Amino acid sequence: MQHAHYDMGVVGLGVMGANLGLNIASRGHRVAGYDPDAAKAEAFARRGQTELDGIDGAETAASADIDTFVGGLKTPRVLLLLVPANVVDSALDSLVPHLGEGDIVVDGGNSHYPDSEKRQRRLAEHGLHFIGMGVSGGEEGARHGPSMMPGGDAAAWDRVRPLLEPAAAQADDGSPCIAWIGSGGAGHFVKMVHNGIEYGLMQLIAEAYDVLARGLALAPEAIRSHFVAWGERRLSGYLIEITADILVQRDEDGGHLLERIRDAARQKGTGRWTTEAALALAIPTPTIDAAVTARGLSDFYGLRQNGSATLAGPQPADGQSALMDAGLPRALEGALEAAMLLTYAQGMHLIAAADAEYGYGLHCGTVARIWRGGCIIRAALLEDLSAAYERDAELRNPLFDPALGARIGELQGNLRKAVAAAAGAGIPMPAMSSALAYYDALRSARLPANLIQAQRDYFGSHTYERLDRDGSFHTQWAHAADS
């Protein structure tokens, strides 16, 4: 590896690190890689030689030796970390002693946002700049164009931007799906919410599949044709597209692979973090919460097998006719669109609240814009969300954009039909029904919280406010048992 020759260093040459490193190099940069596993370092260098052959200015090298790697970088050095969230601190422990004043470390993993804030402070004590950057798009995105959400030390952005921007995905209008998000943990906060929305959308799609497969007993090819048709209209998006592919994937013996996959969903934690952050900020994100819970519930595999034999529900044949009477599968398309819009709305509302609380200085419109391409939740609906922020940059909850609100209003009948019919058929729709309840709660001028306030005051003298008078009130509630 040549001394002080490389524009950027990538630390961690696993799937994401190697692919993003090659992507950045392929835009005409010299990228050095480091991984303590020599086999990974060699594989990265080898891929560089074949995949970047003939690309002007593109060059890669790799080492399993940290001194050689750091020495190979031009100063001030730019290092991009792509290691699992639980080893970021130990990676920093080994790197920091080798770095010098003004060097920049970008953490491109799925780190928790409070950790990114701590790391920025820690590195600043050494005169180093830290950027916490969400990266979305999986392996394919990393290699050919992910959506990237950098935040943290803004002083470092100008140096890093020309390296990262060309590697980002482009939206249909040609704009790059990367933008400075804001200060502190803003980049990783936004990526966390992206993943929370991802959980919500995936669960909504899974519920639609469940109604079609279990409720209406449709074959995978027939279900696929619905997803394909929906994907050609307003539901066009990455998750709908991959679902159509998954439905017809065959196993080695020709059977449908999907039917043989154990129905217990795993999670790495970013969805749960979103729910925790929303609870801490008192922002309702019920569809994301329901999706997190649904994954947990699916994992109670043995209990469910037991329940399927012992707990009563409607007869499958009754359920099927209830679903058809309700106009399914047709109504599902509109139900999904409404519920998906409501999920994005919950996530954006959370981001707006975090910005107000933590002073990130972010713009929700920018977030919606850079999610239009490259990331897992990219979808045509994000064009509508983005347009809503163009109309009103201060919009806190996209449901209150007149056009989006009107659209959900047009679709709410479908959402009701789908939720009611699935309930009648005994098919759980935790995400879709929570989206409907969220919508109905936000259009209710009066909710039964008056009763909750009265109950709190009854048993705990917690006081309540009145509609007709200012102040705080407590009542000596008459005990029926005493009268």
Which residues contact ligand 6PG (rule: CB under 6 A)?
A: 110, 136-138, 195, 198, 267-268, 270-271, 375-376
Q: Whole-number minimum distance, CB 133 to ligand 6PG, in Å?
A: 12
**Quick one: 328 or 376, whose CB is closer to ligand 6PG?**
376
Q: Whole-number minimum distance, CB 107 to ligand 6PG, in Å?
A: 13
Q: Whole-number minimum distance, CB 216 to ligand 6PG, in Å?
A: 27
**Quick one: 6 or 199, whose CB is closer to ligand 6PG?**
199
Q: Whole-number minimum distance, CB 209 to ligand 6PG, in Å?
A: 17
Sheet holding 78-81, edge to edge: 59-63, 30-34, 8-11, 78-81, 104-107, 129-136, 147-152
Q: Whole-number minimum distance, CB 268 to ligand 6PG, in Å?
A: 4
**Quick one: 109 or 286, whose CB is closer to ligand 6PG?**
109
* CA proximity to 264, closest of 308, 294, 287: 294
Q: Indicate which residues carry an active-site annotation.
A: 191, 198
Residue nearest to ligand 6PG (CB): 136
Distance, first Cα to last Cα, the chain? 89
Q: Whole-number minimum distance, CB 68 to ligand 6PG, in Å?
A: 30
**Quick one: 267 or 320, whose CB is closer to ligand 6PG?**
267
> Under DSSP, is residue 77 helix (H, G, I), strand (E, B) or coil?
coil
Lookup result for tokens 């593109």: 58
Within 10 angstroms of residue 318's Cβ, the number of other Cβ atoms is: 13
Strand partners, 105: 79, 130
> Under DSSP, is residue 193 helix (H, G, I), strand (E, B) or coil?
helix
Are the C-beta atoms of 81 and 109 separated by less than 8 Å? yes
Residue type, 112: H
Q: Whole-number minimum distance, CB 347 to ligand 6PG, in Å?
A: 13
Tokens coding 97: 């002693």
**Quick one: 60 or 270, whose CB is closer to ligand 6PG?**
270
Within 10 angstroms of residue 119's Cβ, the number of other Cβ atoms is: 24
Got the DSSP string for 204-269?
Answer: HHHHHHHIIIIIS---HHHHHHHHHHHHTTTT-BHHHHHHHHHHT-B-TTSSBSGGGS-S-----S
Got the DSSP string for 80-111?
Answer: EE-S-GGGHHHHHHHHGGG--TT-EEEE-S--
H-helix or E-strand containing 418? helix 402-425
**Quick one: 239 or 435, whose CB is closer to ligand 6PG?**
239
Tokens coding 408: 């959900």
* CA proximity to 56, closest of 30, 74, 75, 18: 30
**Quick one: 71 or 187, whose CB is closer to ligand 6PG?**
187
Rg over alpha carbons for the chain, rounded to the nearest Å, is 25
**Quick one: 322 or 375, whose CB is closer to ligand 6PG?**
375
Q: Whole-number minimum distance, CB 384 to ligand 6PG, in Å?
A: 21
Got the DSSP string for 145-163?
Answer: --EEEEEE-GGGHHHHHHH
Got the DSSP string for 19-39?
Answer: HHHHHHHTTT-EEEEE-SSHH
3-state SS, 322-334, equals HHHHCCCCHHHHH
